[in-house]
Amino acid sequence: MNDIAASLIATGCVFAGGVFGLQLHRLLPSHHLTKETLDVIRLGTGMVSVLASLVFGLLIATAKSASDTADREMRAYAAETILLDRTLRSYGNEAAASRVLLRRATERILQDLWPGQGKRFIGLDDSSAGSFLEQMQEAIDGFEAVEPRRAWLRQQALQSIMSLLRQRWILIEQAGPNVRPVILGALIIWTVMILVSFGLNSPRNGTVVGAFLIISLVIGGAVFLILEMDSQFAGVLRVSEQPLLRALAELNKDRASFGGFPSAPANLAGRPL
């Protein structure tokens, strides 16, 4: 379900609860509306309100933590990409084809996660992006490093490519919803019950209805924030692509200076980007 649609449904349910509470006051017999009865309802509503506030805060913190973790991992991935490219550049011409694979893997991830207007969102779990990195690992592992310096560079490159593969799988495993819909649904039900009790204890006038509408919009906005932050690479509050764009710009510097990278290996030349 679309995040905006879910937040609008939550807003409508909460507002309907408040309006129902206003009408419930007219339907209940008078002996159910005594001062003692309403005081008990107020006390119970206060307890539920505190509990709902704690759960809302917990869900927002969970979604924010997931978003921050994804952003931190993506920045680490971009930094490791730049370091690997510089290591391969220091190695020499033998690593030129591997640098092409690195550039293509970076472009693929950008296209998968930030496809642009009108293009399909694929996500991190794209085998093509992973295959470029795996091909890089095989190519680097086959480097003939006779000199101590080149042997050290080869080892550093292998460590970097392993780090990229590890961070990619960490991002894949961490992506997706961390907030369970059952918990969010239960929280909306609690909030509806709170608004029903508010309506039962409130005077029937337009100001109260307007206040219920504002409260409902705030609750719907909170639901929207939770869902948006919980889907780290989609929506309005998605993780920024700037770190990976800067990494790609670093990878393309030599391409602009020296007339382009050499061609990719034959077994990858036909693969689409």
Residues 186-207: tens digit of each pLDDT? 999 999 999 998 888 888 888 9
Residue 51 lies in a domain: yes
Residue 265 lies in a domain: no
The segment with the largest mean pLDDT, out of 53-62, 87-96, 255-264, is 53-62
Check residues 23 and 235 and name the one with the higher pLDDT: 23
Residue 268 lies in a domain: no
Residue 264 lies in a domain: no
Residue 208 lies in a domain: yes
> Which of the four pLDDT bands, split at 50, 70 and 90, describes residue 117?
low
User: How many domains is the chain built from?
Assistant: 1
Range of the domain at 206: 3-257
> How far is it between the farthest Cα atoms of the chain?
95
Tens-place pLDDT, residues 37-46 = 888 888 888 8
Share of the chain above pLDDT 70, in %: 89
Q: What confidence score (pLDDT) does residue 272 get?
A: 40
Q: What confidence score (pLDDT) does residue 28 get?
A: 78
Asked whether residue 262 carries a pLDDT value surpassing 70, the answer given is no
